[in-house]
Amino acid sequence: MAAPPPRGPGAAASGALDELSRNLTYGALGAGNGSLSGAWYRRNQIHLFGVLLAILGNLVISVSLNIQKYSHLQLAHQEHPRPHFKSVLWWSGIILMAVGETGNFAAYGFAPITLIAPLGCMSVTGSAIISVMFLKENLRASDLLGMTLAFAGTYLLVNFAPNITQDISARTVQYSFVGWQFMTYGILEILIFCILLYFHKRKGMKHIVILLTLVALLASLTVISVKAVSGMIAFSVTDKMQLTYPIFYIMFIIMIASCVFQVKLLNQATKLYNTATVVPINHTFFTISAIIAGIIFYKEFLGATFLTIFIYLFGCFLSFLGVVLVTRNRGKERLPQSYIDIGHVPGKQTLDKIQPDSNGLSYGTLPDGSDSTKSPSGEKKEV
């Protein structure tokens, strides 16, 4: 006959440690729990492959952005600058960006949305590092702190994101698409989008929160459709063909349309506001909308414990804060410009003092071009 389990303070402490261990272990009582153990890595190799694709994709995007920026700087310093789309260097950046976005697209087929979406902070921090190394921009203390927080948040996100392994088939997508959870979410999103679009278009409200909320609402549809399309392609390669189902093409159309309108609204935001303001707000709004979309459509936090959710959200907060610190007060590049004498601007008449001529003895020239100055009494004197 087996002996009864010991009771007392020691047994209670042991039970609490066991419960904490279960809370920090994937595959135990909660399907959505994570840990830092080696067993976690063995069970989640497919997720880690998706994470690797997303991180590499974001780093390639960082390189592409800096190549395009360097191309613009080179063209601006030329005596007769060409259009940027005629620059081989600029096109190299565009091609690299396409490669990076392809990596992000593929990553959604191997890992949950709630794991891939927050990794966009790697693009911001990577861009800051590359700009310091190759474009000789200043490295500030806030950059170092922001990068540290972003990396720490990414580590927590990777370890405590939901451990949900799904085979994204056409039937799975159809079932989620017509489910009451997504239908309710979709109706609410459409209502909010239409209200904000009314104030933006009809009332002329251009506030950054309105613009980026519209972008985020579209982004939630983008990540849902991207994961559906990517997942069905992966399922077709590894198992049964899914590209013959109508839902694949419905999701493909949603993906393209939401991306196009998202880019259009984001361009409006960057024209009205500084990039240093747009980037952190857009990253935060996008990540929140993507997480909500993943929870509702793909049920990615099903079975997760409170501790796992809390640490995951704390990791998101650290990545948000890191992006804010990296982009804070990072103004647009000021290009060195040669001096222009405003006295020679066509149609410009001025009686103000002009920049002194380094090769002459007089203090500038008058608008009529005569080499003369005025004495304190107002008489014109030839020099």
Tell me which DSSP letter residue 368 carries: T
Cα dihedral sign for 226, 169, 236, 251? negative
Cα dihedral sign for 107, 98, 149, 273? negative
Cα dihedral sign for 131, 213, 115, 318? positive
| pLDDT in 10s for each residue of the chain, 383 residues | 445 555 555 554 454 445 444 444 434 444 444 445 565 565 567 888 889 999 999 888 888 888 887 887 777 777 777 777 777 888 888 898 889 888 889 899 888 999 999 998 888 888 888 888 877 778 888 889 999 999 999 999 888 888 777 778 899 999 999 999 999 999 999 999 999 999 998 888 889 999 999 999 999 999 999 999 999 998 998 888 889 999 999 999 999 999 999 988 988 888 888 877 888 999 999 999 999 999 999 988 888 889 999 999 999 999 999 999 998 876 544 444 443 444 444 455 544 444 444 444 444 444 444 444 444 445 544 54
User: Whose CA is closest to 324, among 286, 289, 292, 282?
Assistant: 282
Q: What does each C-alpha distance from 156 to 34, 119, 267 come to in angstroms?
A: 10, 11, 32
Angle at which helices 121-134 and 275-298 pack, to 10 degrees? Answer: 150
What pTM was estimated for this model as a whole?
0.72
10 Å Cβ neighbour count for 284? Answer: 21
Question: Helices (DSSP H) in 135-169: which residue ranges?
Answer: 141-160
Q: Are β-strands 372-374 and 380-382 bridged in parallel, bridged antiparallel, or unpaired?
A: antiparallel
